[in-house]
Amino acid sequence: MTDSTSSTPCTTSTSQNVYSTPSYGSGSSSWGGSGSPYDSCVQKCAASYGGLSMTYSAPPSTTTAAGSNSGGGMTHTVIVAPTQGILRYVPFVVNASVGDTVEFVWGANNHTVTKSSQLAVCNKTSAAPFASGEQNKTFTFSQMVNDTNATFFYCGTPGHCEKGMFGIINPPNAVPGSNTSVASMMSGMASNSSNVSSMNSYTNNMTSNNTVASNWGGNIDMSGMPEWSYQYIAENVMYTRTFLAANPQTLNADGTVSLGNAGNTPMVIPNDITSAANSGTPSSPGSSVPSAAPAASVSGNSPYGAGSTNGARRLGSSDVAIGFVVAASLALVF
């Protein structure tokens, strides 16, 4: 896989965040200004959630790193830590074809994207390695997909991968009826761990009205992965499911994920899935988000089967720009 990077400074915001992948141009009224679509959305959020203390940072002028990494295919966007303290890649897995590009966009500081192997998930591989180095919010790092073999990557910041911050491009797919898929192993893990049980109950609750989100990633095959990683794989799948349920505009009907579908609509960043284990399972799915932009058409082969796939539409440079709104009480509450 061929890489390309870029970085643009942006004001760092803390507390709970709203992530956005807007389409915009220089001087666009979509960001700020009385009566703008952005202000309208903020007003709707404030009306739904009560008084909010919020600011926002303007998106960088560009985030897509053009050049030799462009294979002419689709671009799949992956958020590297959607906000400070959430050690996840979103979505956790991406299904990509040869010639596609996976673009990693940093949502928080002090993280890396480093290629590893399936059996040594938290160790840099020597086989066609790639590594972004430790980077901060708004940085981007692109990889062109040269084959459809499973490619594992992780955060090399000490301790992050060991807490579950890793992801997969073209993950291994379990055969139908396999007892090594995420879907088949989840119930067993929940039976043996009260923490997994709480997280699973919370996820089921959050995705109760979205069958596609609730099945996402279920056919990932864990048989060839180290046993210590099973729970973290399950956690990453569950977190992505809650993210998709909270942001239904990013999930297409066939189960493919397209963060660019959000357009100017801010995306809710759920609290980390581990909070469910620490504070108990909530009794309701939480608050809704503003209405979504129409989903774009997607072409894609998926290893996950109907209702549990992932992918992305082709994105232009403006589609992967990021901006944050600090909204202390806008996060999903456990």
Q: 26-61 pLDDT, tens per residue? A: 222 233 344 444 444 434 443 333 332 222 222 332
For residues 134 and 109, the answer to whether their CB atoms sit within 8 Å is no
Whole-number Å distance between alpha carbons of 86 and 271: 8
Per-residue confidence (pLDDT) for residue 5, from 0 to 100: 54
The span from the CA of 28 to the CA of 325, in Å, is 17
Query: Given its phi and psi angles, is residue 255 left (phi above 0), alpha (psi -120 to 50 degrees) or beta?
Result: left
Query: How high does pLDDT run on average in the chain?
Result: 71
Give the per-residue pLDDT at 280. Answer: 56
Give the residue, 289 or 218, on which the prediction is more confident. 218
Task: Categorize the per-residue pLDDT at 263 as very low, low, confident or very high, splitting at 50, 70 and 90.
Answer: confident
* Beta-carbon contacts of residue 14 (< 8 Å; ≥ 6 apart): 84, 326
Token pair 């992932």: residue? 310
Judge whether residue 2 has pLDDT over 80: no
Per-residue model confidence as pLDDT tens digits over 62-121? 233 323 344 568 999 999 999 999 999 999 999 999 999 999 999 999 999 999 999 899
* pLDDT exceeds cutoff 60 at 185: yes
**How high is the pLDDT of residue 254?**
84
